[in-house]
Amino acid sequence: AQSVTQPDIHITVSEGASLELRCNYSYGATPYLFWYVQSPGQGLQLLLKYFSGDTLVQGIKGFEAEFKRSQSSFNLRKPSVHWSDAAEYFCAVGDNTNAGKSTFGDGTTLTVKP
């Protein structure tokens, strides 16, 4: 069965600093990988996705993620964090044999210090 691990429950960074959120997955084939962001009391918004091809994917709001098959990782990065980036971030892996269904990690809460 597929699974997703986000090792960091909570991360605090200063505004303007760089950010990396970790995500490790377990899946038997080439996965579909996603990062979503959730603001308090809201649904989730897709930041970026990986299906195939270039392993470095660009997303919205200046985020990027790199798929590393050898490490089973899909870490999210941003070179300079803004206060508005404070939110909950979820990594997800899609089961490409079960159309549409995804498994989500437990999430990482990002706090941004002024």
Partner 1 sequence: GAVVSQHPSWVICKSGTSVKIECRSLDFQATTMFWYRQFPKQSLMLMATSNEGSKATYEQGVEKDKFLINHASLTLSTLTVTSAHPEDSSFYICSASRDSKNIQYFGAGTRLSVL
Asked if 101 touches partner 1 (CB under 8 A), the answer is yes
Nearest one of 76, 98, 91 to 38, comparing CA atoms: 91
In the complex, what is the shortest distance from the CB of residue 110 to partner 1, in angstroms, rounded to a whole number? 13
Give residues 17-76 in contact with partner 1 (rule: CB under 8 A).
Answer: 32, 34, 36, 41-46, 49, 51
Nearer to partner 1, 5 or 15 (CB): 5
Q: Rounded to whole angstroms, how far apart are CA atoms 111 and 86?
A: 5
Interface with partner 1 (CB under 8 A) = 32, 34, 36, 41-46, 49, 51, 90, 94-96, 99-102, 104-107, 109
